[in-house]
Structure 1
Amino acid sequence: MKHLGFALILAILIHRQCFPIHVEAGDGFIRARGAHFLLNGNLYFANGFNAYWLMYMASDPSQRSKVSAAFHEASTHGLTVARTWAFSDGGYRPLQYSPGSYNEQTFKGLDFVIAEARRYGIKLILSLANNYDSFGGKKQYVNWARSQGQYLTSDDDFFRNPVVKGYYKNHIRTVLNRYNSFTGIHYKDDQTIMAWELMNEPRCTSDPSGRTIQAWIREMASHVKSIDRNHLLEAGIEGFYGQSTPQRKGLNPGIEIGTDFIANNRIPGIDFATVHSYPDQWLSSSNEQYQISFLNNWLNAHIKDAQYILRKPILLTEFGKSRKDPGFSTYQRDLLFKTVYYKIYSSAKRGGAAGGGLFWQLLTEGMDSFRDGYEIVLSQSPSTANVIAEQAHKLDQIRKIFARMRNIERWKRARAIRGRHIGN
């Protein structure tokens, strides 16, 4: 009776406070309605992972089994969303080897990733550029423009220079209009893709006021939506508070990088908010207890602001704990995961804005060269794998309760309509 009582209370809370009963018929795309994700009219949670390496690995047909293995292992642990790179600019085995020129073999790797994700029931968040130098990043775009005679003094000119912005807009067009050689579906029409991400962790330290990044997100969000209105879009920001909410800046871990959590996510076309959390990096000189306390406050503030100020869903798109940290233990990593997952679950069961979390990063066996300290190999990390699977189960229970309530409401409406007809 105790569990049934909880289920009923939860369902009533979610139903009354948060969800419209008249939800349009689904078309297979994940939507944002108010502060929630919906799939075919039902509540959707993204319990997921990062795997930036998927396209890179799949561009070599002999290595594609690693992609399949990762998706298989993820799906058996209830993971539903993968975030990965849809960029590789210049350098070794690139996707885009010069502005507007693409390596078909690498693009076929991304085609394969999308096809395999579809096969395993995993949705994708595809990031379109990198703030950092790995896989090219904004530095490569700026260097391409320099080679064409543009006088540019900073990598941050990525956000300002019209030529560079033209290169990036062309990349957006090319990726969104790509015809998948495995599925026969254009990316912009593919339900496997949950969302596009403008950039992995955009930063513009040359303009801490935030105006440069704000203008860039506004311009690029409009460009994406002019091509593709099927998919959700997010900016890729880490969640640092900026000039629009000076009272919140005290929550930041002393980092000023020209982004603004509230202002950036208020931009039309940005469908949901994102936040990253690495207390072990950001507060490396502090102890474990302080880092967990920071994490709790950081997530509380962002979930609350997403719900009451932005009125949009929020995803924790990166979090983790490195085994390279002094005194690392699996127990500490599991504690961090449990802390993150509890915040998400607590919000979700109240009908709040937290839509899920994606840990950094998932690897499969035989990928030792990709280890960065944060890696999770599910078969080698049984306690962490159990924490992940338990979260998937708990979020699925909330989803099922909402679906049940929705079916009850449909039945009541149908009965009322029948009653009116009989009365006539």
Structure 2
Amino acid sequence: MKSTGVCGVLSLLVVGLFCEAQVVVGSGFVATKGTEFIVDGSPFLFNGFNSFWMMTVASQPSQRSKISDVFRDAASAGLTVCRTWAFSDGGDQALQMSPGVYNEAVFQGLDFVISEARKYGVKLILSLSNNYKEFGGKAQYVKWARSAGVEITSDDDFYTNSAVKAYYKNHVKKVLTRINTFTRIAYKDDSTIMAWELMNEPRCQADSSGKTVNGWVQEMATYVKSVDNKHLVEIGMEGFYGDSIPDRTQYNPGYKVGTDFVANNQIKEIDFTTIHAYPDLWLPGQNDNAQMAFVQRWLTSHWTDSRTILKKPLVLSEFGKSKKDPGYSKSARDIFMNTVYANIYELARSGGGIGGGLVWQIMAQGMENYGDGYDIVLSQNPLMAAIISQQSRKMTALEHASSTNPHLHG
């Protein structure tokens, strides 16, 4: 039994705020129909969150209560989609210790995450690799190849080198065909999983046009679908525009990262588009109003392109405001969150085409070592919990309205 000190009182307050937000998601696979998400044939609109750390923490059975706590609090706040990592390459507590060699304890951590998500009615977006060196990522894949005698010139050979691509495909197959030790369901057959993400925030310094990433996405999305044709696939992109429509690069925050939002997402095997929004990181030194104006343009331009050019639904799959920013205040973060949520809701209400947003990021109590400035512990933030719960209720109400009036978005 946990103590009911200040945190306990806050938890009770938050539960009071949450209880009416709880929603039940259909048990079927998430699919797309035009620019909408559907589950069991009905529209699926959501409010969601990121918790990248879940598998790593769950690899230690003594820490698994943290995963249960987050899913319970999230479900109480009406959050129905969670994005998390299904990779950890090399180094301590790695899932993939070396190419094709896996740590069973860590895999069982991921099994537990999926089984808990299922219990609390939360759908998962599982990311399969990382652009960054944290948790291994493309740098680790390239390092493995180099150690095996493969000629490598840079980390961006991840996208083009046949040996490295074989390592990645092997990881995809290993994860997708894994049989969960808790549920006995193969990942590829589990409707708890909403989608596979090819890579967290792919970038390519070697080719700013987006064409190198495009070739890799085409090959890997096709491969994922060959192993698992039941789940949706998305790239993991931040949304930076490339060379295919030069006019769109005006919406970038002053630079390109080697991706092309339009061309990359035109690939047939990619089911929906994603963008991230970090104005505090991308536009340092600009004031809150300028940063918010950027986010509104960013969201609207990608929503428009997703609906009219790509004809696929959009998810704002990462956004947040860091406590580590100069001039940070709780009220500024609350305003930022409220404004982003209002934008998502208005776009969904006025024309559909956006499934929802995933805040970065929700944590459990006692996880300070994972804190990155963006972390939110719902039970310790009643006001933020209330803001999140309100958005969940609004998206659920809109989902119900769409179900009863299919012409709402026409």
CA deviations over 1:149-201 (Å, ceiling 9, x no partner): 11111000100100000000000000000000000100000000000000000
CA deviations over 1:362-382 (Å, ceiling 9, x no partner): 011111111110001111222
CA contact (8 A) 1:210 1:260 kept: yes
Shift of 1:210: 1.4
Which runs of structure 2 are paired with 1:221-300 in the superposition (5 Å)?
221-300=221-300
Matched letter for residue 275 of structure 2: V
| C-alpha separation in 2, matches of 1:250 and 1:360 | 26
Shift of 1:385: 1.1
CA contact (8 A) 2:275 2:315 kept: yes
CA contact (8 A) 1:205 1:256 kept: no
Name the SS for the 1:342 alignment partner: helix
Residue in 1 aligned with 2:63? 63
Which runs of structure 2 are paired with 1:81-230 in the superposition (5 Å)?
81-230=81-230
CA deviations over 1:263-320 (Å, ceiling 9, x no partner): 0111011000000000000001111111011111111111111111111000000000
Matched letter for residue 199 of structure 2: M
Greater Rg by CA: 1
CA contact (8 A) 2:27 2:192 kept: no
Question: Is 1:332 matched with 2:332?
Answer: yes
Matched letter for residue 402 of structure 1: S
Matched letter for residue 304 of structure 1: T
Residue in 1 aligned with 2:315? 315
Name the SS for the 2:97 alignment partner: strand
| C-alpha separation in 1, matches of 2:401 and 2:207 | 47
| C-alpha separation in 1, matches of 2:267 and 2:99 | 28
| C-alpha separation in 2, matches of 1:175 and 1:212 | 25
Name the SS for the 1:337 alignment partner: helix
Matched letter for residue 239 of structure 1: G
CA contact (8 A) 1:30 1:194 kept: yes
| C-alpha separation in 2, matches of 1:399 and 1:211 | 37
Residue in 2 aligned with 1:5? none
CA contact (8 A) 2:46 2:396 kept: no
CA contact (8 A) 1:244 1:263 kept: yes
Gaps of 5+ in 1: 1-25, 407-424
Matched letter for residue 329 of structure 1: S
Name the SS for the 1:140 alignment partner: helix
Residue in 2 aligned with 1:388? 388
| C-alpha separation in 2, matches of 1:277 and 1:48 | 15
Residue in 1 aligned with 2:32? 32
Matched letter for residue 376 of structure 1: I
| C-alpha separation in 1, matches of 2:203 and 2:46 | 25
Shift of 1:27: 7.4
Shift of 1:46: 2.8
| C-alpha separation in 2, matches of 1:310 and 1:405 | 24
| C-alpha separation in 1, matches of 2:200 and 2:82 | 14
CA deviations over 1:328-359 (Å, ceiling 9, x no partner): 11111111111211111112112421110001
Name the SS for the 1:294 alignment partner: helix
Residue in 2 aligned with 1:54? 54
Which runs of structure 2 are paired with 1:358-373 in the superposition (5 Å)?
358-373=358-373
After superposing on structure 2, the runs of 4+ consecutive aligned residues of structure 1 that deviate more than 3 Å are none
| C-alpha separation in 2, matches of 1:343 and 1:286 | 20
CA contact (8 A) 2:45 2:398 kept: no
Matched letter for residue 177 of structure 1: T
Residue in 2 aligned with 1:418? none
| C-alpha separation in 2, matches of 1:30 and 1:138 | 29
Shift of 1:398: 1.2
Name the SS for the 2:276 alignment partner: strand
Name the SS for the 1:362 alignment partner: coil
| C-alpha separation in 1, matches of 2:238 and 2:397 | 29
Residue in 2 aligned with 1:19? none
CA deviations over 1:401-420 (Å, ceiling 9, x no partner): 223346xxxxxxxxxxxxxx
| C-alpha separation in 1, matches of 2:206 and 2:378 | 40
Percent identical? 56
Name the SS for the 1:132 alignment partner: coil
CA contact (8 A) 1:90 1:136 kept: yes
Matched letter for residue 222 of structure 1: T
Name the SS for the 1:363 alignment partner: coil
CA contact (8 A) 1:37 1:355 kept: yes
Name the SS for the 1:359 alignment partner: strand
Shift of 1:73: 0.5
Name the SS for the 2:357 alignment partner: strand
Aligned residue pair count: 381
CA contact (8 A) 1:58 1:112 kept: yes
| C-alpha separation in 2, matches of 1:77 and 1:374 | 18
Name the SS for the 1:262 alignment partner: helix
Gaps of 5+ in 2: 1-25
Normalized against structure 1, the TM-score is what?
0.89
Matched letter for residue 347 of structure 1: L
CA contact (8 A) 1:89 1:97 kept: yes
| C-alpha separation in 2, matches of 1:88 and 1:388 | 29
Residue in 1 aligned with 2:4? none
| C-alpha separation in 2, matches of 1:283 and 1:187 | 39
| C-alpha separation in 2, matches of 1:331 and 1:144 | 46
